[in-house]
Amino acid sequence: MSKYPKLFIPGPTHVPEDIMDALSTPQIGHRTQEISELIKSIVIDIKEVLYTTNNIYLISHAATGLWEMSLKNSARRGVLHCVNGAFSAKWVKVSESCGYSYDVIEYEWGKGVKVDDVDKMLSKGKYDVLAMVHNETSTGVMSNLDDIADLLKSKYPDILWIVDAVSSMAGVKIELDKLGIDFILSSTQKAWGLPAGFSICAVSDRMLDISKTINNKGYFFDLEVYEKYFSKFQTPSTPSIPHLFGLREVLDIIKKEGFDNRWKRHKEMRDYVIRWANSKGQSLFSEKGCHSHTITCIENTQNWDIDEIYNTLLEKGYRMDRGYGNLRGKAFRIPHMGNIYMEDLKDYINQIEGIINV
């Protein structure tokens, strides 16, 4: 057994040794031909993962920084936030602390974002930015992006759409150009299956143009600065070079698996967990139609002793999730993303079975 338990928490997710090995590739200079070639190859492949020609930036900090970056380069008159869990609520705090004018559409936890609510609020004409979390990691809710895309295209083409895909990007098919998302963000410790502390975003040209009209964005989060360096396939400051080698490795794995196979596999793992939960008399915390492909949040209707399961799993070498914040013990989450494959999932569920059947 490894010194540390295998992670079955929804981030950081499990990273096997062969991927960790890629992160210990010897360092290279960050103003060299070598790094430009590495970054270029990563950018080309991420564009394929996201079905986009938008600008890809790789950034050496957690996704929380990209919440701020997305707002600093888009917010002018007002931001409309959709809040349906812990992370979408935290994003609002960024608007608040930056002093932006904003409003919130608030949902009960477990619910997805609804297009009619967004329409009703946008029709007031007060906003130029719509911010939402695609996959609420706290509740296992994945909201429908297609409906929102259709609404924005047909009625609000000038709204900049910024989307947090921290726990869905690289695990769920997101056709960026078709959807018309202006800024999508993720960090590497979830479906990308790498250690934390590194982020990815894709930015539309029109958002870059709007960014140029905004003053006092600071330096670190200014998209103009990123664009200047990425046109040479470099980063504005010294990047986390281990993460770049890690991303290269993961992208090779993703390409080998094939995109469609990857998206299908995540759905199959989701269905497997749902079938298992239902067979045990448990229910799902996420509402029908919004069950995430990368993480399942199970409502503990059977009143299992989650702490006991947690402690026993830990003795066996697995780190369980006991539920986010106030949901602890009431709804627990099973991640199926990153380097968790069907055999890992089946093994984990068998371990839980062994404990609850005693």
Where do contacts with ligand PLP occur on this chain (CB under 6 A)? 11, 62-64, 87, 133, 137, 164, 166-167, 187, 196
CB of 25 to ligand PLP, least distance (A): 23
CB of 185 to ligand PLP, least distance (A): 8
Total Cβ atoms within 10 A of residue 214: 15
Tell me the CB-side half-sphere exposure of residue 260, using CA atoms within 13 A: 0
Write down the residue that tokens 């609420």 correspond to.
Answer: 136
CB of 26 to ligand PLP, least distance (A): 26
Nearer to ligand PLP, 169 or 179 (CB): 169
The 3-state secondary structure of the chain, one letter per residue: CCCCCEEECCCCCCCCHHHHHHHCCCCCCCCCHHHHHHHHHHHHHHHHHCCCCCEEEEECCCHHHHHHHHHHCCCCCCEEEEECCHHHHHHHHHHHHHCCCEEEEECCCCCCCCHHHHHHHHCCCCCCEEEEECEECCCCEECCHHHHHHHHHHHCCCCEEEEECCCCECCECCCHHHHCCCEEEEECCCCCCCCCCCEEEEECHHHHHHHHCCCCCCCCCCHHHHHHHHCCCCCCCCCCHHHHHHHHHHHHHHHHHCHHHHHHHHHHHHHHHHHHHHHCCCEECCCCCCECCCEEEEECCCCCCHHHHHHHHHHHCEEECCCCHHHCCCEEEEECCCCCCHHHHHHHHHHHHHHHCC
CB of 329 to ligand PLP, least distance (A): 19
Nearer to ligand PLP, 26 or 325 (CB): 325
CB of 168 to ligand PLP, least distance (A): 8
CB of 196 to ligand PLP, least distance (A): 6
CB of 81 to ligand PLP, least distance (A): 13
- Cβ-contact 291, 142 below 8 angstroms: yes
Nearer to ligand PLP, 113 or 210 (CB): 113
- How many whole angstroms from its chain centre is CA 45? 18
Nearer to ligand PLP, 73 or 188 (CB): 188
Nearer to ligand PLP, 64 or 300 (CB): 64
CB of 333 to ligand PLP, least distance (A): 11
Nearer to ligand PLP, 200 or 210 (CB): 200
Nearer to ligand PLP, 81 or 233 (CB): 81
Nearer to ligand PLP, 64 or 235 (CB): 64
